[in-house]
A and B are shown apart, each in its own frame.
Chain A
């Protein structure tokens, strides 16, 4: 059957004057079959850009019946912005070049753009002159759409991946914060338990201690002729009671270090007050005091009583580290944190931020310093290196939660170059 465009098959076959018999007829028959059955659009265009042949697949793909499109310019199929391709293509073909798998966009009869892959070859006359172009156009709209879809999906996937990464980071950060909060809660719960225990112990033990103290005083007042041993025994008993009381006091202070009454305070005057409170111990141990107080300190929100207690505890420790005398150096300064460090960073759990202005207080002694084993246990309750009767082991244990409650930090180490220990307390400053 001769379908639409039968006339153009001569062009497609590139043969002329065939009478339908012999080997040429067989070739022609094969080409007819290809023309009819091809799934891709096949069409021929004269060198002046006029469509001269058009197969069934072309009708289906472009939407133009052969009878309406043949004789019309090829530019009908080409979008405005791609017209330049037309001239280039025809010029190339006229020179005898072949174009393979050129992907572009063409228009259907209803104006809808379609993606096509074009392969174009020149057709020649018996003298070998290029007379027209034979084009094979494959509709790749579905493939292109799928590719575009895949591209969009890929972009979306990348966005999702980035989102997931951000979520994962946030989750990790949140986990870190949760762990930190959990630690604080556990610590707070521990403190609360110790607090309840301490309050109970204090009440139950302080009354008997008071009775013993009164009894010692009474005996000391009433015994008519006390011998030297009795005086010593009563003194020892009195000291033992006072020591037991100091342990209870330490426990109470340790456990009540959870509430603050803060106000704007001048750190230097708190340091001076603490020095005043320990002056007796300083004099007794022949300790020379060096004060290096910065004069430009901004105020800090502190619980005056509790911070005085921290400074006193640190100074007493320094004094006890210098039993044969020495120098106590008390220093204060304002500092801008320039780089990340143990307590300085960008995480929410870091007490201080890079760039933040802080108040640094240093209390140094010229004793023998602290060994590593001691250093790791310094803040443990009831840990002490002092001789029996000299320390309860609660001084530093009390200091740490108090400073932490103020949003500050406390570190204890050795002075650079050895020869003593240094306690460093850091607080956030407030804008004056």
Chain B
């Protein structure tokens, strides 16, 4: 069975390194990390992830802008995006079904299990891409 391809865009190297390690340790995930938000779209076009975990506040370009460019991309437009944010409390995100302004959110710090549950939920949704089978053939 193909692994779930996760693109992790966050400017915090220690965060992305530990999350990548933790997810890949489960054996079901293939994680690509990008610490520079400006390269987010390019890496996504190259990696063709099943899901994107995206930091909200980054120094060069914020998560919202990156999400907009991804949504505008013909190939990537249906790829689920989950925002990871340190600026919203867990209670707030939970109270609104982890959705604020129509976007899926996860408040930091989330446990690896919480992140995995969120990934699986997003990929099961109608329109979600089957794990390991991106919308277009990988080249």
> What is the minimal beta-carbon distance from A391 to any residue of chain B, in angstroms?
16
Once A218-B18, A218-B25, A222-B25 are accepted as A-B contacts, the answer to whether A249 and B112 lie under 8 Å apart by CB is no
The segment from A4-12, A79-87, A203-211 that touches chain B is A203-211
Q: How far is the CA of A418 from the CA of B25 in the complex (A)?
A: 56
Q: How far is the CA of A205 from the CA of B14 in the complex (A)?
A: 13
Q: Which residue of the partner chain A has the closest CB to B90?
A: A249
CB 8 Å contact bits of A198-241 with B (1 = contact, 0 = none) = 01001111111111111101100110000000000000000001
Contact between B86 and A207, CB atoms less than 8 A apart: yes
Contact between B21 and A218, CB atoms less than 8 A apart: yes
Chain A residues at the B interface, C-beta cutoff of 8 Å? 199, 202-215, 217-218, 221-222, 241, 245, 248-249, 252-253, 256, 305, 308-309
Interface assignment of B124: CB less than 8 Å from any CB of chain A: no
Cross-chain contact of B12 among A211, A212, A252, A305 (Cβ < 8 A)? A211
Interface assignment of B15: CB less than 8 Å from any CB of chain A: yes
Once A199-B87, A202-B86, A203-B86 are accepted as A-B contacts, the answer to whether A218 and B22 lie under 8 Å apart by CB is yes
Q: Which residues of B contact A248 (CB under 8 A)?
A: 89
Contact between A207 and B22, CB atoms less than 8 A apart: no
Q: How far is the CA of A245 from the CA of B91 in the complex (A)?
A: 12
Q: Which residues of A contact B77 (CB under 8 A)?
A: none
User: A-B pairs with CB below 8 Å: how many?
Assistant: 75
Q: Which residues of B contact A206 (CB under 8 A)?
A: 86, 107-109
Once A209-B108, A217-B22, A218-B21 are accepted as A-B contacts, the answer to whether A252 and B89 lie under 8 Å apart by CB is yes
The 6 A-B residue pairs whose C-beta atoms are closest, nearest first, are A206-B86, A214-B18, A210-B109, A209-B109, A206-B108, A210-B108
| 9 additional contacts (CB under 8 A) given A204-B86, A214-B22, A217-B113 | A207-B14, A207-B86, A213-B109, A217-B22, A217-B112, A253-B91, A256-B89, A305-B96, A308-B95
> What is the minimal beta-carbon distance from B134 to any residue of chain A, in angstroms?
26
Q: How far is the CA of A207 from the CA of B14 in the complex (A)?
A: 9
B residues contacting the other copy or chain, number (CB 8 A): 25
Question: Which residues 35-92 of B sit at the A interface, judged by CB distance below 8 A?
Answer: 57, 86-92
Q: Which residues of B contact A214 (CB under 8 A)?
A: 15, 18-19, 21-22, 112
Q: Which residues of B contact A211 (CB under 8 A)?
A: 12, 14-15, 18
Q: Which residues of A contact B87 (CB under 8 A)?
A: 199, 202-203, 252
Q: How far is the CA of A71 from the CA of B86 in the complex (A)?
A: 115
Q: Which residue of the partner chain A has the closest CB to B112?
A: A217
Contact between B109 and A203, CB atoms less than 8 A apart: no
Q: How far is the CA of A214 from the CA of B26 in the complex (A)?
A: 13
Q: How far is the CA of A202 from the CA of B92 in the complex (A)?
A: 14
Q: Which residues of B contact A213 (CB under 8 A)?
A: 109-111
Q: How far is the CA of A211 from the CA of B18 in the complex (A)?
A: 6
Q: Which residues of B contact A212 (CB under 8 A)?
A: 109
Q: How far is the CA of A211 from the CA of B14 in the complex (A)?
A: 6
